[in-house]
Structure 1
């Protein structure tokens, strides 16, 4: 099954004059557009307090560009990012706070992320043009995202699907796939997220089931063999009026389980405290939020990971991973850097 089913979009765009919608206004906008069958682009922040909502006919390439088809022509050439090292003690303090809560039973899995200053990313639009990814989004002066991870798709008949992606290993490691599948920490992390997202879909859909479990995606990069990521496929059936209530049920699924953890409410509190020293201004912003397109009949959306943000101090690459009781600080710190790359070719 093609995970990009649903809205199949060319590289199209949006004006900088669009305003931020708060959550109630964003929900109302999505419901109204769904009822009218009117196509639009949406970009929703991690904490759901800010959104861009733009009818497709109003898009402008000077300010926002996106490609959710994964098959747009790419600009040739190389692209090398040079990440700086963030202070390991700062990261370890946040990691220990997370694990303390996990051992206390407050969370089973917590996604811990950080912002890493990078050089070689001063032209985000060029990153957008060169990166090969299933989902790409560039907003002028703000960020570029080149995500491999689908959030949800919805077919014309209301079949909803999600594809959680948890578990990572360097593809160059001998027997990498076998090692990834047998790693207890990675399997625990993946199984926890699959269970969380199955429960999430059950809040808005019927006949929810895991169609595929623990399959492997190979994500290539320009400076090495790339990484292997473990994924699963979960499907269900939305009610017949899903378009009319699009914003209402969609926001019930946010933030995406794969970038927070379980149980969701308490884990969000843990993340908020742990990441105060790991991101500019202490919060994620649009990183790990969701973006997507409703084309009037179907919906296609992504989790905004693989994310470079423009800040007053220069570009930062936001990255992270899931923490469990089996995690080790040194390995999780290393995984942050393993994911800092631009996929080419």
Structure 2
């Protein structure tokens, strides 16, 4: 099998040092581990100048679009890493699936207003990546063997030359404070409606979200730098959009990972705010760990994901090795579980995505009914929120986030979403506050830049 070419570069703990050189390039994308100390953060991965760009066509199903993605991977060709080199990406696809890509998988109503004009999916086919391994403390350029030698030489020169002074950025500033698109009365009414559905046996849990928006000016990359410093998370990402906008994600949640045919998903369900001091913080963590409501919410989604993995994993291989683990971030504590499996011999990572997207932790249970209720009660479509940023390489290696704690900077408006799982005993006031608490650090950070 052909082998990738790997060139060592000076190690950089901060991916901004290298991404700065390409962030204005077509298809520039960074998958960011947050910081080496962040939970599960090991690899940063960045690239630009894709060999091809793919988006679903009008009326194209999810299955048909994924078939085209497979064709592009096959056309690029298999490649492996040199002996002794363990890196997650050997060339392949980088991109996003919006939450509303789910409409291309399942038949759903179309009541929520689409006012963002955000595409259901975009992927680039990339022949190279710059990968920093924060465990080994290395930064390396990886070239797929199909990438022309002249392009390899150009990229090597670009990243080896002294970076000099950072490029000047137009200062990012909000032109007004963030405003929610749902007032408290409407929020309370929506929670009541969900609980009526639950009482009638329609569903068990529905994830309900509200959107915050503000007009802005300046460079979204500067905003991302401030957000990253305030809230480092292991599944962060930055994607430059063709119209000058950007997708900024500070997600703590893994969706699906495939490595060597082994599958892992890590759903988050259950939240408490961080405390104002060490004693209150420890108390809040223990309240979350002992909460019957939060544990029940988490278990519902674990069961849903066991079923989702069962569609594409070898019979008998699906396991739950971790249940109700505590993960702590600058703004909140979370309950996190892990579900694992082994891909069936006739299935691949795209089959896995098709059978599990969008993630159960941000829809509810049962999934399709929960998505129908979300479309009924949320006034606008979610766009990138609760979709996924991901890579999928020519070997079948994949990792993906659930794009919570994510913002869309587009057409002079920046949007951010916060939500949570609603169950029979949810109190709307507490759920409303949780939806704000989850994103307050992001909103406040950007408001302080203004």
Count of paired positions: 319
**Aligned to 2:442, what secondary structure does the other structure show?**
coil
Shift of 1:334: 0.5
Q: Does 1:218 align with 2:325?
A: no
**Structure with higher RCO (Cα < 8 A, 6+ apart):** 1
Match of 2:442 among 338, 342, 345: 342
In 2, Cα distance between the equivalents of 1:52 and 1:58?
Answer: 18
Aligned equivalent of 1:279: none
Rg: which structure is higher? Answer: 2
Aligned equivalent of 1:167: 270
TM-score (norm. length: structure 2): 0.64
306-315 or 260-269, which deviates more: 306-315
Shift of 1:186: 1.0
CA RMSD of aligned residues (A): 3.3
Runs (4+) of structure 1 moved beyond 4 Å? 2-5, 65-73, 79-82, 118-122
Contact 1:3/1:150, CA 8 A, preserved across alignment = no
**Aligned to 2:45, what secondary structure does the other structure show?**
coil
Aligned equivalent of 1:196: 304
Q: Trace 1:81-160 onto structure 2 (pairs within 5 A).
A: 83-84=178-179, 86-118=182-214, 123-130=219-226, 131=228, 132-135=232-235, 136-140=237-241, 141-156=245-260, 158-160=261-263
Residues 34 and 195 of structure 1, relative CA distance in 2, 3 Å threshold: farther
Contact 2:238/2:246, CA 8 A, preserved across alignment = no
In 1, Cα distance between the equivalents of 2:369 and 2:131?
Answer: 33
Match of 1:42 among 84, 95, 119: 95
**Aligned to 1:11, what secondary structure does the other structure show?**
strand
Contact 1:46/1:290, CA 8 A, preserved across alignment = yes
Superimposed CA distance per residue, residues 110-137 of structure 1 (whole angstroms, 9 cap, x where no aligned partner): 0001101247786422233341221213
Q: Trace 1:304-343 onto structure 2 (pairs within 5 A).
A: 304-312=403-411, 314-340=413-439, 341-342=441-442
Residues 69 and 39 of structure 1, relative CA distance in 2, 3 Å threshold: farther
In 2, Cα distance between the equivalents of 1:269 and 1:66?
Answer: 39
Match of 1:11 among 42, 46, 53: 46
Superimposed CA distance per residue, residues 78-125 of structure 1 (whole angstroms, 9 cap, x where no aligned partner): x99954355111212222221111111111010001101247786422
**Aligned to 1:310, what secondary structure does the other structure show?**
strand
In 2, Cα distance between the equivalents of 1:256 and 1:323?
Answer: 16
Contact 2:319/2:340, CA 8 A, preserved across alignment = yes
Residues 155 and 4 of structure 1, relative CA distance in 2, 3 Å threshold: farther
Contact 2:362/2:386, CA 8 A, preserved across alignment = yes
Aligned equivalent of 1:287: 385
Residues 55 and 18 of structure 1, relative CA distance in 2, 3 Å threshold: closer
Contact 2:216/2:412, CA 8 A, preserved across alignment = no
Residues 148 and 91 of structure 1, relative CA distance in 2, 3 Å threshold: same
